[in-house]
């Protein structure tokens, strides 16, 4: 592949402002990144979850489709921050939560990134070791599994260390190769597919509560990418590309990637017993021997693309908080922690149950965070002061986003109660909140958390109006600040 010159060097930027003359990306790249990032077995596992909950094929199909559409509706416009702020999602959130309050986003990003990194390495390792077992007929022990996990983790970490441009190139390759192999799998396994598959025992006792649980698990996927979206859109120029094209590429790419791969997980999940505990091993068990090689290739390539994305984003952000360490060091530390979580998930915990609970709980925290930021974007009419957003990263005090000691209590006072209410309403496979039964077992935690956050934030803005400076008023400090836009330009 003939790579542009800028892809051949280690990225020099972290979460600092990307100058206009270095904005070399475009909406098409944004779409490719978030299609390619889904071409891995952890998205197959997420698509298999509705089957494991006891739903049939059509129940799983509708839950996945509706969940993704709902999640993408929130996620798609989230890529508009990067082109205007020139930085990542978390630093951008400082405009609404305060330059110190952006640390809430840092914690969410770390939590999500480490969880998905662990899952993609675990799933890819299962594909490789399971494939070896199919070919050799010899059980692969824990020592071999550990070596495979470690190798996948280290190689994906190296890609993340190189930076943005190589991550983008990796996604472009994975889109084509893994996309083809998954479609090949649909054809190969078609004789074993039963569209009338009715499911099994409902995990929450009846259809509708279980179906809603599957919808929430599906919409969690787009929501989880909110803190990651602007790692890539920050390299897109708002002068050359419209908001609409950026948002459509961001949401459309993610929806296509998630929908195809998650439905593959549900499709194959109808063919083997959920008692196997691992959809990767289940797919291996029902596949012809020759298709085991493509499965192993997916298991290899998926972690290299998705795993790199998962540690690249928190590496950038944590480095902005701890600048003495630098992006490479923070990325390496996060990657090592992620590999440790892989070992815990594989050898200590029930990884599927733990991950299901993780998905639902991080969605409760991330949804109101995203809603508050999007409401702030709309109220500010897209205006941001890139210089003042970088105050905390540069060890400075003051600026239009300093609010109360760096914390905007309007946003924080809306987010904290929203998360508390969401947790109290949560119903997961390993945790049930005390309010979980108020809707007959249907999990309302995510929509209620988002609604509570939106209402409280709107009230706070009305009762305690912000300074005109944050919306581009006369006291704005930086001439490079993003120009204001009309409401019609936002979406």
Banded model confidence at residue 480, pLDDT cuts 50, 70, 90 = very low
The verdict on residue 450 lying in a domain is no
What gap in Å lies between CA 468 and CA 266, rounded to an integer? 50
What does pLDDT average to over the chain?
88
Answer yes or no: are the C-beta atoms of 156 and 40 closer than 8 Å. Answer: no
Collapsed DSSP state (helix, strand, coil) of residue 407: strand
DSSP string, 336-397: HHHHHHHHHHHHTS-HHHHHHHHHHHHHHHHHHHHHHHHHHHHHHTT---HHHHTTGGGT--
pLDDT in tens, 105-159: 999 999 899 888 888 898 899 899 999 999 988 888 888 988 999 999 999 998 8
pLDDT single digits (tens) 273-316 = 877 768 899 999 999 999 999 999 999 998 888 888 899 999 99
User: What pLDDT is attached to residue 353?
Assistant: 64
Total domains, the chain: 1
In a domain, 232, yes or no: yes
- Whether 253 is covered by a domain: the verdict is yes
> Has residue 179 been placed in a domain?
yes
Sign of the Cα pseudo-torsion (212, 264, 367, 405, in order): positive
Helix (H, G, I), strand (E, B) or coil at 95: helix
Domain that holds residue 181: 24-351
Residue 409 lies in a domain: no
483 inside domain: no
Confidence of residue 474 (pLDDT cuts 50, 70, 90): low
Q: Residue 132: inside a domain, yes or no?
A: yes
Burial of 464 (0-12, 13-18, 19+ CB in 10 A): exposed
- Residue 61 domain-assigned (yes or no): yes
Instruction: Give me the percent of the chain exceeding a pLDDT of 70.
Output: 91
Q: What is the CATH number of the domain that holds 139?
A: 1.10.4160.10
Token code pair at residue 295: 């499965």
């Amino acid at each position: 592949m003939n790579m542009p010159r800028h892809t051949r060097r280690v990225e020099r930027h972290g979460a600092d402002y990307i100058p206009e003359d270095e904005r070399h990306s475009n909406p098409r790249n944004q779409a490719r990144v978030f299609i390619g990032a889904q071409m891995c077995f952890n998205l197959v596992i997420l698509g298999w979850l509705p089957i494991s909950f006891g739903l049939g094929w059509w129940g799983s199909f509708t839950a996945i489709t509706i969940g993704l559409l709902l999640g993408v509706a929130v996620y798609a416009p989230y890529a508009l921050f990067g082109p205007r702020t020139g930085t990542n999602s978390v630093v951008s959130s400082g405009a609404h939560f305060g330059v110190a309050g952006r640390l809430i986003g840092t914690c969410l990003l770390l939590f999500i990134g480490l969880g998905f990194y662990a899952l993609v390495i675990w799933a890819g390792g299962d594909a490789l070791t399971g494939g070896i077992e199919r070919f050799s007929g010899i059980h692969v022990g824990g020592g071999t599994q550990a070596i495979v996990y470690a190798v996948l983790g280290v190689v994906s970490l190296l890609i993340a260390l190189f930076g943005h441009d190589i991550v983008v190139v990796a996604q472009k390759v994975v889109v084509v190769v893994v996309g083809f192999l998954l479609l090949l799998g649909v054809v190969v396994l078609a004789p074993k597919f039963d569209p009338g598959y009715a499911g099994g025992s409902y995990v929450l006792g009846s259809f509708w509560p279980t179906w809603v649980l599957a919808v929430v698990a599906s919409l969690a996927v787009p929501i989880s990418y909110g803190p990651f979206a602007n790692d890539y859109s920050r390299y897109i120029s708002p002068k050359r590309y419209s908001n609409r094209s950026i948002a459509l590429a961001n949401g459309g790419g993610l929806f296509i990637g998630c929908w195809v791969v998650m439905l593959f997980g549900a499709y194959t999940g109808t063919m083997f017993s959920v008692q196997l505990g691992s959809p990767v091993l289940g797919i291996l068990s029902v596949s012809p021997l020759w298709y085991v090689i493509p499965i192993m290739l997916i298991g290899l390539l998926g972690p290299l693309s998705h795993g790199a994305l998962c540690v690249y984003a928190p590496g950038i952000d944590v480095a902005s908080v701890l600048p003495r360490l630098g992006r490479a060091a923070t990325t390496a530390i996060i990657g090592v922690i992620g590999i440790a979580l892989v070992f815990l998930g594989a050898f200590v915990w029930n990884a599927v149950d733990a991950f299901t609970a993780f998905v639902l709980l991080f969605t409760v925290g991330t949804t109101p965070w995203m809603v508050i930021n999007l409401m702030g974007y709309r109220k500010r009419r897209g205006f941001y002061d890139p210089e003042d957003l970088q105050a905390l990263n540069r060890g400075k005090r003051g600026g239009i986003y300093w609010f109360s000691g760096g914390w905007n209590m309007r946003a924080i006072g809306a987010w904290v109660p929203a998360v508390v209410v969401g947790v109290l309403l949560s119903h997961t496979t390993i945790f049930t909140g005390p309010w979980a039964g108020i809707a007959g077992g249907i999990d309302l935690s995510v929509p209620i958390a988002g609604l509570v956050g939106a209402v409280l934030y709107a009230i706070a803005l009305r009762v305690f109006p912000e300074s005109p400076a944050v919306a581009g008023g006369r006291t704005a400090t930086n001439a490079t600040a993003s120009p204001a836009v009309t409401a019609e330009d936002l979406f």
